[in-house]
Amino acid sequence: MGEEIVRLNPQEVWSCFYCLTQIPRPSKKEEKIRAFMVDFGKRPGLESVVDEVGNVLISKPATAGMANRKGVILQAHLDMVPQKNSDKLHDFEADPIQTIIDGDWVRADGTTLGADNGMGVAAAMAVLASQELQHGPIEVLLTTDEEAGMSGATGLKPGLLKGDILINMDSEEEGELFIGCAGGTNGRMIFRYHEQPLPPDSKGFRIKVTGLRGGHSGVDIHLGRGNANKIMNRILSHGQRTCGLLLASINGGSLRNAIPRESFAHIALPADRVAEFLDHFSMLTNVIKQELSVVEPALKIEVITAELPETVMEQAILVQLLNAIYASPNGVVRMSNDMDGLVETSNNLAMVTSGNGTITVDHLFRSSVDSARDDLEIMLKSISDLAGAASLFDGAYPGWKPNPDSPILKIMQEVYHQRFGNIPNVTAIHAGLECGILGGTYPDLDMISFGPTIRFPHSPDEKVNIPSVTKFWDFLVETLKSIPEK
């Protein structure tokens, strides 16, 4: 299963993408794909190097008669987000991605597909492999660790790149040209607690929140999807206030940049309050499901009889934790005043994890306005201070300020119009493209981002539109022909 995608058009791109599906490449585990790409470049004799942080740079000379054109850097990232459905057996560090053709779309079998950003990598590979395309000097920059911190882009040293134009291929809407993106910051609340013995006559239960759609915490944040951590907190808080619920452990969400799809908690209840809790639980879960019925039709909220936990966290810390999560913003904070329909500022309450006397609550703030992002940090710190928790902020990366006068923008608008008969939409994206970071290191680069249509990245619903890949490739080929002279 999966090999049939190599017969899709354009075959030169899909065959490269198929190769990528066979090589494990979750963030932080890119050794195999890095080695594959270096070998891919060296086989036809192209200069292929790995820098000190793990980025791969492959250079291809200009084709005949094109040596005087400006140099183009084709940029994508090597890693993919490893997400799967809870019933899917898949090891992202060892197993290939199983692809399925579903009408006009390609998706995976219960896992993320890796079209983000495998389609960009595959297009770059097709350019490198082609003996027929016309283009000036080409550099292919494949960065590492984009999805888990952008450390590859951050660690790229000045002087390595020689090109004049950077074309990022990590956008997800065909027919749109992106000239700006949001910056971001990781925020963490840290609670310390003492484990306490169970009160006598307690009963153990496990609560499960599953079936949510999840998605990209930037691209999909405006869709109003359920957040498993918020849903779980609502249930736990109600149980604590009404029935004396005690918490032994909690684990919700798995990545900062993915809307959390699942959450699991191990709890204890006084034996004489179990029936009351179950009645409240049934009523509350029905309310939550009704609230989210349109956007989350597959939501499941279950309580299951379980073994008694050995210990529970102290009640005072539990109350502080639940109140802090309740108070934390989640989703869209503000829409942009500059671009219709664009999210300016958001927060993803991404992970809640307990263990060894510590509970961490991880957030990812995004904003195209640095001061608004900073304001969210102050908000979270204020909540943490009121709740008696520590707070930590790291991994900040800049946004990419739009340049409506960009020369490559003008070229690509004209190429698209000539090739497809209409003008592409020019916009920005509420996600962290690496252009902001790369532009800080190489301030003279003329940058743009585009890509095929990808839906629901960072979730097992991820899929890429087949006709859009054809247009994406044709657009790239014609753009490379049209790069002006130096």
Question: What backbone phi and psi angles, to 5 degrees, belong to 441?
Answer: -85, -35
Across the strands, what pairs with 247? 267
What is the DSSP secondary-structure string of 73-117?
EEEEES-B---B-TT----TTTPPPPEEEETTEEEESSB---HHH
39 is catalytic: no
Q: d(Cα 182, Cα 400) in Å, to the nearest integer?
A: 7
Q: Say which of 30, 145, 146, 164 is annotated catalytic.
A: 146
CB atoms within 10 A of CB 51: 16
What is the DSSP secondary-structure string of 290-351?
HHTTTT-TT-EEEEEEEPPPSEEE-HHHHHHHHHHHHHS--EEEEE-SSSTT-EEEEEEEEE
Say if CB 415 and CB 475 are below 8 A apart: yes
Q: d(Cα 87, Cα 81) in Å, to the nearest integer?
A: 18
Q: d(Cα 171, Cα 178) in Å, to the nearest integer?
A: 7
Say if CB 255 and CB 83 are below 8 A apart: yes
Question: What backbone phi and psi angles, to 5 degrees, belong to 141?
Answer: -105, 115
405 is catalytic: no
Q: d(Cα 462, Cα 332) in Å, to the nearest integer?
A: 21
Question: What backbone phi and psi angles, to 5 degrees, belong to 369?
Answer: -120, 110
Question: What backbone phi and psi angles, to 5 degrees, belong to 214?
Answer: 65, -145
Query: Considering only CA atoms, which of 110, 364, 311 is closest in space to residue 194?
Result: 311
The identity of residue 306, as a single letter, is A
Q: Which residues contact 427 (CB under 8 A, 6 or more apart)?
A: 176, 177, 178, 179, 180, 339, 342
User: In the numeric block, which tokens belong to residue 304?
Assistant: 């299951």
Orientation angle between helical segments 11-21 and 115-129, nearest 10 degrees: 130
| Residues forming the active site | 79, 146
